């Protein structure tokens, strides 16, 4: 029965994974907290004042109890708009998915785990923006299922 449950979870994961990388494009939808633009929505993939929204996105993560899902949205603060917009490139999104899916859910549930993930994401994004261009990463949605 345990194998059947794992197969069912994998099928569910396949159905929940976005059909194309365009689902990872910047968006101001979702998240917790106010919209700093006074209700105006940002154009997808466009940075404002060096900040860009990545997500919402859902990825499979490893777990001691099988596979779990992580749903998250990130606000990334960069030095300039050009640097921030590089984070919407397909290769950066792919690296982000591979990176997140290699993480262990139990490690990410703690505050220390989230802070370590934040530091790792800054390093990952710096590969695409250049050294020192990523100033901060904020989690605006972070949900495990």
Instruction: Tokens for 62, please give them.
Output: 């490893």
Residue-wise pLDDT for 40-57, tens only, equals: 555 556 788 899 999 999
pLDDT in the model for residue 92:
94
User: Model pTM?
Assistant: 0.68
Domain chopping of the chain, boundaries: 2-144
Residue-wise pLDDT for 58-98, tens only, equals: 999 988 888 889 999 999 999 999 999 999 999 999 999 99
Q: Residue length, the chain? A: 145
């Amino acid at each position: 029965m345990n194998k059947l449950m794992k197969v069912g979870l994998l099928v569910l994961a396949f159905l929940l994974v976005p059909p194309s990388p365009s689902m990872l494009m910047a968006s101001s939808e979702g998240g917790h907290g106010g919209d700093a633009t006074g209700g105006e929505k940002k154009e997808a993939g466009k940075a404002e004042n060096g900040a860009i929204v990545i997500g919402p996105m859902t990825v499979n993560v490893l777990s001691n109890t099988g596979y779990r899902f992580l749903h998250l949205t990130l606000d990334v603060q960069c030095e300039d708009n050009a640097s921030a917009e590089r984070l919407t490139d397909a290769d950066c999104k792919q690296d982000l998915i591979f990176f997140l899916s290699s993480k262990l859910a139990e490690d990410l549930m703690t505050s220390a785990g989230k802070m370590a993930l934040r530091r790792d994401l800054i390093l990952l994004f710096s590969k695409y923006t250049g050294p020192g261009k990523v100033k901060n990463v904020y989690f605006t949605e972070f949900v495990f299922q």
